[in-house]
């Protein structure tokens, strides 16, 4: 009798131990912890997926799941009872990156930490040797993340200009007279703006994901795979430019309706599908003509479906190791701790609104104006001032923008980005040290300087970023300074100051420099009232 009781107790203990060690309950625990700890980043990610250029985002995790199941189906995972040190290190790094993102209130950084978090639990569950087999699917998750806004704007602007130039070349090949003014295609009767939506990023981002999948599933050497993936960039640029050109041709012959509505979006889908076909043709050419003695595979792209869901049926029996369980518990407590930590009170900022900036600055008399509604929308500022100032014989245009926060997805729209899009040819941007004031009150500061030209018009431009008492000329530096001040001081407000003056025919540029610096002698001393410094 006693022996039976002991046997039953041992059996129950073994069943309980087996249940506790099952992976699924601990995956749920780790998922809850991730949702709590990376919440702001995940919410921001969902918002990004609602934008047209990232609308493919929800498909990326599904493709990653397919790639992972396919790898397990082809090569079942072998037990790995080795050290989980690498997985633990990645897990710690994931929490650290997520914490930094939470503290500086930048959702992009939080989502980078989340990607590391996923990789850490793969390594903790499967082990280092087996877990690293799944790096292609894990790395593929990067394609669901939006680019930081200041990087996105730079890339978009350059692609807009490139698409417009190549598109105009396509139109000219059709024998149609056309002029290019910045990103505006002038067909005479009609003018077409190559807007941000036509830059090609709406094709490039999803094609990156598709090109990665195709490269991973390609049956051939690794250098072929790299080439297939990298081919997504020129294929997208050329095909998008061809689309821009063909829209111009259709508008020239049949009217402006071919640049709008359903036809416009239908043309976009045709181009996207054409890009995927071209990528497959590149893979076929590489397999057919550049195998260099290798036997050509039966399938160029190994898209296996039969039995690919088999690993899911076996998954309930997968056991979780001690490191995986410990990490799940730590993640849950980290998420709960972060959610229960009270948010710091917003820093109090005493400042004057830009709307009351003086229209009389020394001997300059100003007149406030407004931006075009589309430009104002792209600028995205909480406040701005645009004013034309004039003295006896000179003109200066002043633009100041203010942002309450530069971390939560918003950011300053640099003139380096918007001026080329407006058709201005920009000389090389350079840093210039200027003197403000005179005598004991004189101070030096750096500005970005360039001479810009549109037709026969020439202008001199200065600009810099006002960052809580600092004058910064580099937008990357401004972003990182904002991150630090968010963490240290709870502030990421700031803005941009840009001044422009026309250069008269035959006038020396040095005289225009003197004019801007004289104007800034009166403006700069007042800026601290509108862009307050951090109190020390």
Structural tokens at position 521:
């002698």
Residue 251 near residue 259, CB atoms below 8 Å = yes
Place of tokens 């309980």: 16
DSSP character at residue 456: T
Orientation of helix 39-49 relative to helix 107-126, angle to 10°: 110
Place of tokens 């810009």: 452
Strands (E), 314-407: 360-361, 364-369, 383-390, 395-403
Structural tokens at position 230:
């990298």
pLDDT recorded at residue 414 = 74
| Helix ranges, 105-200 (H) | 107-126, 128-131, 135-140, 149-173
Q: What is the pLDDT along the chain (536 residues), one digit of tens a residue?
A: 454 544 444 443 444 344 456 888 899 999 999 999 999 999 999 988 988 888 889 999 999 998 888 888 888 888 887 888 999 999 999 999 999 999 888 888 999 999 999 999 999 998 888 888 899 999 999 999 988 777 787 788 788 888 888 888 888 888 888 888 777 787 877 777 776 667 778 788 888 998 999 998 888 888 999 999 999 999 988 888 888 888 888 787 777 665 665 455 556 677 788 888 899 899 888 888 887 666 566 677 776 667 677 777 777 777 888 899 999 999 999 999 999 988 777 677 889 999 999 999 988 999 999 888 877 877 888 899 999 999 888 899 999 999 988 776 556 777 777 766 566 777 778 899 988 877 667 888 999 999 988 777 889 999 999 999 899 998 888 888 888 888 888 888 889 999 999 998 888 889 999 999 999 999 999 999 999 988 76
pLDDT recorded at residue 372 = 81
Nearest-CA neighbor of 87 among 119, 51, 130? Answer: 119
Place of tokens 């509604």: 373
pTM, entire model: 0.77
pLDDT recorded at residue 460 = 92
pLDDT recorded at residue 476 = 82
d(C-alpha 226, C-alpha 230), whole Å: 6
Residue 324 near residue 306, CB atoms below 8 Å = no
Q: Rounded to the nearest 5°, which phi and psi values hold at 274?
A: -65, -40
Rg, the chain, Cα only: 29
Strand ranges across the sheet with 179-181: 179-181, 184-186, 191-193
Place of tokens 């390594």: 123
Strands (E), 383-518: 383-390, 395-403, 425-426, 430-436, 443-454, 457-467, 470-472, 494-503
Helix, strand or coil, per DSSP, at residue 181: strand
Helix, strand or coil, per DSSP, at residue 369: strand
List of residues 6+ apart from 138 with CB closer than 8 A: 64, 115, 118, 119, 122
Q: Which string of b and e fits 319-348 if b means at least 16 CB within 10 Å?
A: ebbebbbbbbebbbebbeebeeeeeeeeee
pLDDT recorded at residue 374 = 75
Structural tokens at position 228:
């297939």
Answer left, alpha or beta for residue 172, where phi above 0 means left and psi between -120 and 50 means alpha.
Answer: alpha
State CA 280 to chain mean position distance: 27
Q: Rounded to the nearest 5°, which phi and psi values hold at 372?
A: -60, 145
486-531 pLDDT, tens per residue? 888 888 888 999 999 999 888 888 999 999 999 999 999 999 999 9
d(C-alpha 405, C-alpha 475), whole Å: 15
pLDDT recorded at residue 90 = 96
pLDDT recorded at residue 10 = 43
d(C-alpha 212, C-alpha 228), whole Å: 8
d(C-alpha 413, C-alpha 264), whole Å: 28
d(C-alpha 231, C-alpha 236), whole Å: 8
């Amino acid at each position: 009798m006693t022996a039976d009781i002991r046997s039953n107790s041992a059996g129950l203990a073994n069943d309980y131990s087996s249940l506790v060690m099952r992976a699924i309950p601990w995956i749920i625990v780790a998922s809850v912890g991730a949702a709590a700890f990376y919440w702001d980043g995940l919410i921001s990610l969902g918002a990004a997926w609602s934008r047209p250029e990232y609308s493919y985002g929800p498909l990326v995790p599904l493709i990653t799941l397919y790639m992972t199941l396919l790898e397990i189906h082809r090569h079942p995972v072998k037990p790995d009872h080795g050290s989980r040190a690498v997985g633990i290190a990645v897990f710690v790094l994931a929490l650290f990156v997520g914490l930094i993102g939470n503290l500086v209130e930048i959702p992009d950084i939080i989502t980078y930490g989340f990607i590391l978090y996923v990789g850490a639990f793969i390594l903790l569950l499967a082990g280092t040797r087996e877990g690293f087999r799944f790096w292609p699917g894990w790395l593929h998750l990067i394609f669901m993340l939006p680019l930081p806004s200041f990087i996105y704007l730079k890339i978009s602007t350059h692609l807009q200009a490139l698409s417009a130039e190549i598109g105009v070349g396509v139109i000219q090949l059709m024998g149609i007279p056309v002029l290019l003014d910045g990103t505006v295609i002038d067909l005479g009767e009609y003018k077409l703006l190559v807007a941000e939506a036509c830059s090609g990023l709406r094709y490039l981002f999803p094609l990156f994901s598709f090109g990665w999948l195709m490269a991973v599933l390609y049956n051939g050497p690794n250098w072929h795979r790299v080439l297939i993936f990298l081919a997504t960039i020129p294929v997208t640029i050329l095909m998008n430019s061809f689309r821009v050109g063909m829209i111009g041709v259709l508008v020239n012959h049949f009217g402006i309706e071919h640049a709008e509505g359903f036809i416009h979006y239908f043309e976009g889908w045709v181009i996207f599908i054409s890009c995927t076909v071209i990528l497959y043709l590149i893979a076929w050419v590489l397999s057919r003509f550049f195998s260099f003695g290798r036997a050509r595979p039966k399938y160029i792209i190994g898209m296996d479906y039969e039995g690919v869901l088999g690993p899911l049926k076996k998954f309930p029996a997968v056991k979780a190791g001690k490191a995986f369980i410990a990490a799940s518990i730590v993640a849950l407590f980290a998420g709960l701790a972060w959610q229960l930590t009270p948010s710091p009170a917003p820093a109090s900022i005493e400042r004057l609104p830009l709307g009351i900036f003086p229209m009389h600055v020394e001997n300059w008399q100003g007149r406030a104006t407004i931006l075009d509604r589309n430009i104002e929308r792209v600028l995205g500022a909480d406040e701005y001032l645009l004013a034309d100032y004039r003295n006896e014989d000179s003109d200066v245009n002043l633009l100041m923008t203010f942002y309450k926060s530069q971390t939560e997805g918003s950011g300053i729209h640099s003139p380096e980005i918007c001026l080329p899009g407006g058709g201005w040819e920009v000389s090389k941007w350079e840093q210039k040290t200027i003197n403000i004031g005179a005598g004991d009150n004189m101070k030096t500061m750096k500005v970005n300087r360039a001479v810009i030209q549109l037709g026969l018009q020439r202008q001199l431009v200065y600009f810099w970023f006002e960052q809580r008492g600092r004058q910064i000329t580099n937008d990357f530096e401004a972003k990182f300074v904002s991150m630090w001040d968010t963490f240290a001081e709870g502030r990421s407000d700031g803005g941009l100051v840009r001044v422009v003056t026309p250069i008269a025919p035959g006038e020396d540029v040095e005289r225009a420099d003197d004019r801007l610096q004289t104007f800034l002698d009166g403006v700069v001393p007042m800026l601290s009232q509108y862009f307050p410094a951090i109190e020390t």
